Structure 1
Amino acid sequence: MLLADKSVIITGASRGIGRAAAIECARQGANVVIGYSGSPSSRAAVDELIQEIEALGRRAVAVGAPAEDPDTGQLLVDAAVEQFGGVDVFVNNAGICPFHSFLDMPRQTYLDTVNTNLNGAFFAVQAAANQMKRQGRGGAIIAVSSISALVGGGMQTHYTPTKAGLLSLMQSCAVALGPYGIRCNALLPGTIETDINKEDLADQKKRDYMAGRTPLGRLGRPEDLAGPLVFLASDMAQYVTGASLLVDGGMYVNLQ
C-alpha cells in the first residue's frame, strides 16, 4: 500500500494510461479524483472506473471539464479538498495528438493541441501546487510527457513541443516547489497502445515496425506506466525530483 490514504488527482483518467494509473493508485491505497473531458461518451467509462475503484475498497469522484480550460485544475483541486480533505498527488495525463503534416497544419489543430497538452497543464499544476503549499505537508506532481519530448516526428510538429514543454515544466517546478517539499517529475512513455494512436497503429506495417524498434519486442500497454507512476508518487521516491523516467521498452536507446 504505497499510497495508503493519499488523495490523488489524475487528468485524462477515463481511459488509457490515466485509467490504468487510477486503478493502480487505488490498489495501492489512494482515493482518486478522476478528471475527464466531460463528454457524454466518456461518462459510461468513468462510471465503470468508479465502480472498479470502489471494489478495491477506495473512494473516487469524477470531474468532467475540458483539459484546455485554465479553470479546470482548480475544479479538480476543489473536488479533492471537499471529498478527501486535500491533495497529495497530482498527475497531469490528459493530452491529444491529432496526427497532421506540418506545412498544411490547420491553425486550430495546433492551438487545440497546445492548449490541451501544455497550457491547461500549466494552470492545473499551479492549482495543485498552491493547495499542496497551503497544506504544508509537501506532495508529488507527475506529468505524463512522452518519448516525443526527446525525438521528432514529421506528423507531430504540434505535439512534440507540448511534450517537451511538460518535461521542462516539471524541471522548473522541481526548483520552484522544492522548498515546499513538493516533488515534480515526468514520465516519458514510448509507443503505448491507447486511443490516441489507435488509427496510426491500425497500419500493420507501422505497428510491426514500432514493435521491432523496441528491444523488449512489443508495444507498451497502459498498465506498463502504472507502476513507475506509483513509484514517483510514493515515499519510495522521496528524494527524486526534477527527474524524467523513460518507459519505452528501450526504444529510445535502440539506435542501430
Structure 2
Amino acid sequence: MLLKDKKVLVTGASTGIGRAAAISAAGHGADVAINFLAGDDEAASCVAAIEALGRKGVAIAGDVADPATAGDFVAKAVEAMGRVDIFVNNAGICPFHAFLDMPVATFERTMRVNLHGAYFMVQAAANQMVRQGQGGSIIAVSSISALVGGEYQTHYTPTKAGVHSLMQSAAIALGKHGIRCNSVLPGTILTDINMDDLADPEKRARMATRIPLGRLGEPDDVAGPIVFLASDLARYVTGAALLVDGGAFVNLQ
C-alpha cells in the first residue's frame, strides 16, 4: 500500500498506460481522478475497476490540448477528493506520418496534446499542491523517443523530449515547495497509440527480438515505476528519468 489514502490524478487514463497507472494507484490505496477525451465506456470501466479495489474513482472529460481543461480537471478533482497529492501526466498521441509531407494540422495537434497539454496540466496541478502546502509528486510519461529518433515520428519525438525537459526544469522550480518531478520513458508498449503500427505480426516479432528481455511491453509494466516514483520510496528522487523499455535503449550492437 505505497499510496495509502493519497489523492492521485491521471490524464489520458481511460486506456493504455494511464488506465494501468490509475488502477495500480488504487491497488496501492489511493483515490483516483482520471481525465479522458473520448470513450465514455472505457472511462466508466476504469472507474469501476478503481472502485472494485475499495477506493474512490472519478472520471472527468476534457481535451488536454485546450489550456482551460487543466484548471477544470484539477478543480473538479479537488471538489471530488479534497486535494491533489500525486499528478500523472500521461495523455498523448502519435499519428505516425512521414516527415516531408507532414500536415500542419497533424504537427500542431500533436504539439498541443503532448507538450502544451503537459505544460498546462502540470502547472495547474503544481499550483494546487503549492496552495495545499504539503508537497507532492508529479510524474510525466515521456518516451524512449525523447532519446532516439523515429522516421515517422518527427512531430512526436520533440514533444516527448520536451516533456522530459519540462520535468527537469519543474523539479528545480518546485523543489522549494517539496514537490518532486520525474519522468518515465517507456519503450515500445502495446497500447492504442501503436496498435496500427504493430498490427503486422512479423513486425511485432521483429521488434521483440531487439529487446533484451525478449518481449514488447504491456501498460502494467509502466504502472509499477510510476507508483514507485509517486511513493515515499522515491522521496529523494526528483528531476530523474526512468527508462522502462526492457533494455531496448542500450541494445545498440
Partner of 1:147: 144
Could you list the structure 1 runs, at least 4 aligned residues long, displaced by more than 4 angstroms after superposition: none
Which residue number in structure 2 is paired with residue 204 of structure 1?
201
1:227 equivalent to 2:215? Answer no
Structure 1 residue 166: deviation in Å? Answer: 0.1
Q: Deviations over 1:167-191 (max 9, x none)?
A: 0000000000000000000000000
TM-score of the two chains, using structure 2 as the length reference = 0.99
**Match of 2:134?**
137
Number of the residue aligned with 1:85: 82
Moved more, 198-207 or 177-186: 198-207
Q: CA deviation at 1:205?
A: 2.7
In 2, Cα distance between the equivalents of 1:171 and 1:239?
A: 14
Deviations 1:90-121 (A, max 9, x none): 10000000000000000000000000000011
Shift of 1:207: 1.1
What corresponds to 1:25 in structure 2?
Answer: 25
Moved more, 221-230 or 66-75: 66-75
Report the Cα distance in structure 1 between the residues aligned to 2:249 and 2:55, rounded to whole angstroms.
36
Alignment of 1:187-202 (within 5 A): 187-202=184-199
CA distance in 2, matches of 1:120, 1:13: 14
**Per-residue deviation, residues 47-79 of structure 1 (Å, max 9, x unmatched):** 111111111000011110001110111112112
In 1, the alpha carbon distance for the partners of 2:201 and 2:98 equals 21
Counterparts of 1:234 and 1:11, CA distance in 2: 18
Deviation, 1:18, is 0.5
Letter in 1 for 2:162: G
* Backbone CA RMSD of aligned residues: 0.6
Q: 2:58 aligns with which of 46, 61, 66?
A: 61
1:216 to 202, 213, 217: 213
Between the aligned partners of 2:203 and 2:154, the Cα distance in structure 1 is 19
Question: Deviation digits for residues 207-242 of structure 1, max 9, x if unmatched?
Answer: 122101100000000000111000000011000000
Matched AA of 2:22: A
**Which residues in structure 2 correspond to 1:112-191 (within 5 Å)?**
112-191=109-188
Alignment of 1:236-251 (within 5 A): 236-251=233-248
Q: Which of 78, 97, 109 pairs up with 1:100?
A: 97
Which SS does the other structure have where 1:4 is aligned? coil
The CA deviation at 1:206 is 1.9
Q: CA deviation at 1:128?
A: 0.3
Q: TM-score, normalised by structure 1?
A: 0.98
Task: State the percentage of identical aligned residues.
Answer: 65
Distance 2:75 2:5 in 1: 18
Q: Does 1:8 align with 2:8?
A: yes
What pairs with 1:36-55 in structure 2 (closer than 5 Å)? 36-37=36-37, 39=38, 42-55=39-52
**CA separation in 1, counterparts of 2:238 and 2:155?**
27
Unmatched 5+ stretches in structure 1: none
